[in-house]
Amino acid sequence: MDRLSTKIDIRKLDLEQLKQLFVAQGEQGFRAKQLHEWLWKKSATSFEQMSNLSAKIRNFLAENYEINSVTIANKQLSNDRTIKSGFRLYDNHLVEGVLIPTNDRMTACVSSQVGCSLTCKFCATGYMDRKRNLEAAEIYDQVVLIKQQAEEHYQIPLSNIVYMGMGEPLLNYANVVQSIQLITQPDGLGMSPKRITVSTAGIAKMIKKLADEDLGVNLALSLHAANDVKRDKIMPINETNTLEALKDALSYWYEKTGIRVTLEYILLYNVNDTLEDAQELYEFWKSVKSKVNIIEFNPIAEADFKKTEAKTLDKFINFLEAKGVIVNVRRSRGKDIDAACGQLAIKTKETQKSLE
């Protein structure tokens, strides 16, 4: 594709704008619905595929518009069957997405930004500069491509989507919301919003705004410390979005949606893994309707944190469960190809097994 192209991406036009476009060309308005279906239900990547549109219409569209679809630059297969993809965007930027297969689900982990601006100390993406936000169509495309991988490689349909890849979804708010609508609407991919989770490092006012959208999606908060001093050190966003502000936002979320939030907590050796830390997590949990995901830390080259010891992990979990906290331990997948939680940073290893 010519990167200097002045053509408009047809996917930037909504259904009403498409109708106006067709009427201006002397065509029936219903043609817009057909085009819309090709773009968002059938995920067409070229006008040539749109067989129920006349050659005249297709030629007009091709001459004046384009479809800036995302392509796969590289794919890597983990020993545990996880597939990491490097997705190339129309302006040559790269982001990463992951297909995570487990016994009971096929999950797409998608990115919302090129890089990230939040500088969380335990996350490889946080050491990258944020280049730009992804457009709604670019997030949608990741889902489509990962969905195809699930069907081609494992013959199992995609069941879940998590906005847990590169970037902070709530700092790309409008595009993230629009992408969810494209993925869930009957005239889009038609996936259930109950199968979608948006993960945030904690932007309090945007959590409230998302609650007001009434999208029906799940929310996960990357908490990782329930103590402001500790959280400030590992997640600088906490300096402007304190634990008290987050408690208020999460309470509002539950009031508006009735959906329990998931508190994500990475255990870091000698950082946030003591029983005192567990007590603070319990106190935070008590204040919001939530469940807790304990996440295994995945080493990154940029930081010298270590995974907590197994016996410390057990004590931490036992403490919480004894107090009635619902705890899930999320075992990392795709570590050998840098596809696990916190490892996405656009890099490859010569030892990785390719799917090409």
**Three-point CA angle 95, 101, 102, nearest 5°:** 140
Phi and psi at 275, nearest 5°, equal -70, -25
DSSP 8-state assignment for residue 66:
E
Q: Copy the structure tokens of residue 244.
A: 């008290």
Give 342's pLDDT tier (boundaries 50, 70, 90): very low
pLDDT > 90 fraction of the chain, expressed in percent and rounded: 79
- For the cut 90, the answer to whether the pLDDT of residue 170 exceeds it is yes
- For the cut 50, the answer to whether the pLDDT of residue 274 exceeds it is yes
Mean pLDDT of 217-236: 96
CB 242 within 8 A of CB 205: no
pLDDT of residue 349: 41
- For the cut 50, the answer to whether the pLDDT of residue 267 exceeds it is yes
pLDDT of residue 305: 86
Mean pLDDT of 96-120: 91
pLDDT > 70 fraction of the chain, expressed in percent and rounded: 91
pLDDT of residue 332: 59
- For the cut 90, the answer to whether the pLDDT of residue 285 exceeds it is yes
| Measured distance CA(179)–CA(160) in Å, rounded | 15
pLDDT of residue 294: 94
Mean pLDDT of 109-126: 85
Catalytic residue among 123, 135, 341, 350: 341
The question of whether 96 is a catalytic residue gets the answer yes
Summarize pLDDT for 124-160 with one digit per residue, the tens: 776 787 889 999 999 999 999 999 999 999 999 999 9
- For the cut 60, the answer to whether the pLDDT of residue 335 exceeds it is no
What CATH number labels 12-66?
A: 1.10.150.530
Mean pLDDT of 207-229: 97
CB 179 within 8 A of CB 214: no
Catalytic residue among 96, 135, 138, 168: 96
CB 172 within 8 A of CB 133: yes
Give 344's pLDDT tier (boundaries 50, 70, 90): very low
pLDDT of residue 124: 76
- For the cut 60, the answer to whether the pLDDT of residue 346 exceeds it is no
Summarize pLDDT for 305-320 with one digit per residue, the tens: 888 999 999 999 999 9
- For the cut 60, the answer to whether the pLDDT of residue 223 exceeds it is yes
pLDDT of residue 5: 66
Of the listed ranges 90-104, 116-130, 242-256, 336-350, the least confidently predicted one is: 336-350
Q: How many CA atoms lie within 13 A of 273 on its CB side?
A: 21
| Measured distance CA(3)–CA(23) in Å, rounded | 30
Give 103's pLDDT tier (boundaries 50, 70, 90): confident
The question of whether 116 is a catalytic residue gets the answer no
pTM of the model: 0.91
Structural domain boundaries of the chain?
12-66, 72-354
Element (H, E) at 123: none
pLDDT of residue 135: 97
- For the cut 90, the answer to whether the pLDDT of residue 299 exceeds it is no
pLDDT of residue 179: 98
Give 6's pLDDT tier (boundaries 50, 70, 90): confident
Assigned architecture for domain 72-354: Alpha-Beta Barrel (3.20)
- For the cut 90, the answer to whether the pLDDT of residue 352 exceeds it is no
Phi and psi at 19, nearest 5°, equal -60, -45
Question: Do 12-66 and 72-354 show the same overall fold?
Answer: no
pLDDT of residue 353: 41
pLDDT of residue 356: 43
